[in-house]
Amino acid sequence: MNRPLLILVAGGSASGKSTVVQEILDKAGIEDVLIIKHDDYYLDQTDLPLEVRYLTNYDHPSSLDNDLLYDHLTKLLDGKAIDKPVYDFVMHTRSQEIEHISSKPIIIVEGILILENEKIRELSNMNLFVELDDDTRFIRRMLRDMSERGRSLESIIQQYEKTVKPMFHKYIKPTKRYADVIIPNDRRHDIAVDLIVTKINQFTGGKL
């Protein structure tokens, strides 16, 4: 197998990264793809009491186990399988569940801070940044966290004001400079998607 194509997709929390990725895959007609969530590589906090885990700043680079992700991506790019961790956002630590996943011709890693790490960027063939205004992202995040993560409205607002918003402007937004394509997700982005699909076809020879 040829070396897989690695695509990194960054953007603020709830900016629509997964939706844009699916749009690209649909447009390119690609099914044989591996999508990894950077979120699953948050550090294990099993040894910490739950009340301490609640205070975790998930928007700071230090919250992520990028060494493990780098090791896993290196193996996947060599065609090897990995045992990927799964993060439990209700318990604020890694789940005991492990996902055994094999390499595929296209590997996509999504995450708010995925472009922040230089070693991981050096592995990548294409870097994307999905952009959406702060207010819309906050509303989307609020609805998601309440429905999927059992969060209260008060805790969501406190976290957003204390860490999410300031960390976005300090650590996440500046990584736009590493993106090959910046995709505005507040309006139609057909041209950006077409450009990315064309580039994917160039890498793969249109064989996927």
Dist. CA 197–CA 30, nearest whole Å:
10
Quote the pTM value.
0.90
pLDDT at 30: 85
- Per residue in 88-141, pLDDT (tens digit) is 988 999 999 999 999 999 999 999 999 999 999 999 999 999 999 989 999 988
Please compute the mean of the pLDDT values over residues 175-194 and round it to a whole number: 88
Candidates 11, 14, 33, 36; CA nearest to 24 is 33
Number of separate helices (H) and strands (E) present in the chain: 8, 7
pLDDT at 86: 97
Domains of the chain, start order: 5-202 (3.40.50.300)
- Per residue in 75-92, pLDDT (tens digit) is 999 999 999 999 998 899
Amino acid at the residue 192 = A
- Are the C-beta atoms of residues 116 and 122 closer than 8 Å to each other? no
Q: Phi and psi dihedrals of 199, rounded to 5? A: -65, -40
